[in-house]
Structure 1
Amino acid sequence: MEPRPRSFYWLTAFFILFVIFLYGPTITIGILSFQGPQGGLTFPMNGVSTYWFHNLFEQQAVGDIWGAFRRSFALGLMVMVATVVISVMAGLAFRKKFAGSGVLFYLTIASLVIPSILVSLGVGLIFNQVGAKVYWATSGFGAQLTWTLPFGLLIMFAVFNRFDKRFEEAARDQGATAWQTIRHVVLPIIAPSVIGVALFGFSLSYDEFARTLLTAGSHNTLPLEIFGMTTNVTKPVIYALGTLTTVFSLVMILVFLGTLWILGKRRARRAS
């Protein structure tokens, strides 16, 4: 067996350092969240316990943590559903060229390069100008869609660009209507991609800060609540909240991946 070149070990070391850089802060917060009642925000740790996790479920003087979590969760679901529906419908529409389709596409994607804080400011100003209330479920919802929709559209455009139209033609030859073709042929085939768009929509919304900063009104979402806590909380309770938030995000990812696995099993069972 030939010995590995020296470059292999250099690249391996670089990759390890990259992984540490990527996950080190999250791991550090996770470790510090298990300090004792007298623990602080830095090392060395002062005892080991789950005290600060229990403290999260007690009456807090630092803010409305669980209210902010409920708002972020509800907003994430709203953005997820809207992103999936609009992305799939746009993907179907863009399969046929229509007047202004190219301009519309680039205008949609352009929102990704606009600074997020400017989008938040613009949406908030529009709601103020029309006399509407700046609220997390309205203006916040609209601002976050400018972030999630371009990703959903790009995914669906790529999916439909490779979609074999012969499946649809075969369904129509068998007498299926347009809706039956979409429901029983198109949607089952693109289902994994649709779930991917849903995961993108929920995760991007749940963690979004900048585009919600000036559009949430007087009720914070969870990222805004955590940011507010960093200015006045000097206890590891903020680390415990960060750890639970990270675990929740990972659980949601596993739920989506599990759904993909179940769909794959069903498709394989039907094919056999």
Structure 2
Amino acid sequence: MNAEIRSREFYILAFFFALFVLFLYGPLSAILVLSFQGPNGGLTFPLNGMSFHWFINLFEQQAVGDFGGSFRRSLFLGIMVMLVTVLVSLLAGLAFRRKFGGATPLFYLSVASLVVPSIIISLGIGVLFQQSGFQPAWYSSAFGAHLTWTLPFGVLIMFAVFNRFSPSYEEAAHDLGASSWQAFIHVVLPMIAPSLVGVGLFGFTLSYDEFARTLMTAGTYNTLPLEIYGMTTNVTTPVLYALGTVTTLFSFLVIAGTLGLILYMNRRRAHG
């Protein structure tokens, strides 16, 4: 079989894509390399030896910063946001399959937070909690602030999914005697499950690294992005780079695991 001949335009576009990837991950590669500085290494090149010293130091008691606590808070907050985003986006997608009064204003209202500056939303929610007599915290006010960021994306994804979803599958299930609930559980849900996993990934990753909407709403305890930002002014060792490398690898593992789950679901559905 003859190999496909690529056009000149393909190589031009491939070149620009390679430049884009280099621009995107070039600075990250510098952080990755500097995190392997030797014990006497600094924050800049050239490297003063190679070691895992700063990765080990990352899990020891630090003079400044709370790596473990901030990571746990970001992790739990991301999971909370992910679960609520998936549930609400699914319910919204199901609700908008049928026309109802006020659907259009409600849709625009649900995505309006995407065009409002994030810091304004953070400030507004923080002031609202304080004026209501509640102390802003990462599990309450920051949780609500993150949902204003993740829910519009989840809702838009589910709208796209259900716009391409044929109701004939449900009709066939009803013809075979299935109730509406059974049709949803055994027909609709397995077909849209990969999309729900994608919505969950969006919700988790957008929350995990959110800074602006957390700034005024996290309260006393920092999430990981706030902790990293605070450490840039008082940490003078490559331990900060080690933290960046570890959190980046964690993010890639989450993405890889999610993509693997989606591929598994699609393969199982194709052979089911």
Same fold? TM cut 0.5: yes
Q: Aligned equivalents of 1:185 and 1:90: distance in 2?
A: 18
Please list the CA deviations of residues 181-231 of structure 1 after superposition, one character each: whole Å capped at 9, or x if unmatched: 111111101111101000000000001000001100001000000000001
Q: CA deviation at 1:10?
A: 5.8
Trace 1:180-199 onto structure 2 (pairs within 5 A).
Answer: 180-199=182-201
* In the alignment, structure 1 residue 246 sits paired with structure 2 residue 248: yes
- Alignment partner of 2:214 out of 212, 218, 226: 212
Matched ranges for 1:79-228 at <5 A: 79-228=81-230
For each residue in 1:231-266, what CA deviation from the matched residue of structure 2 results, as whole angstroms up to 9, or x when unmatched?
111110000000000000000011111111221222
Q: What's the counterpart of residue 263 of structure 1?
A: 265
Secondary structure of 1:61 counterpart: coil
Go from structure 1 to structure 2 and tell me whether the alpha carbon gap of 1:163 and 1:41 turns closer, same or farther (over 3 Å shift).
same
Normalising by the residue count of structure 2, what TM-score does the alignment of the two structures yield? 0.95
Query: Any stretches of 5+ residues in structure 2 without a counterpart?
Result: none
Calculate percent identity across the aligned residue pairs: 64
C-alpha deviation, 1:11, in angstroms: 5.1
Equivalent residue for 1:64, pick from 63, 66, 79: 66
1:12, distance to aligned residue in structure 2 (A): 4.9
Q: Distance in 2 between matches of 1:176 and 1:250?
A: 41
Q: 1:142, CA displacement in angstroms?
A: 0.2
- For the residue of structure 2 that corresponds to 1:111, the secondary structure is helix
Deviation at 1:74, TM superposition (A): 0.2
Q: CA RMSD in A?
A: 1.7
- Give the SS at the match of 1:264: helix
* CA distance 1:114–1:3, shift in 2 (3 Å): closer
User: TM-score of the superposition, structure 1-length normalised?
Assistant: 0.95
Residue type of the alignment partner of 1:146: T
Change (3 A) 1:172 1:4: closer
The runs of 5 or more residues in structure 1 that have no matched partner are none
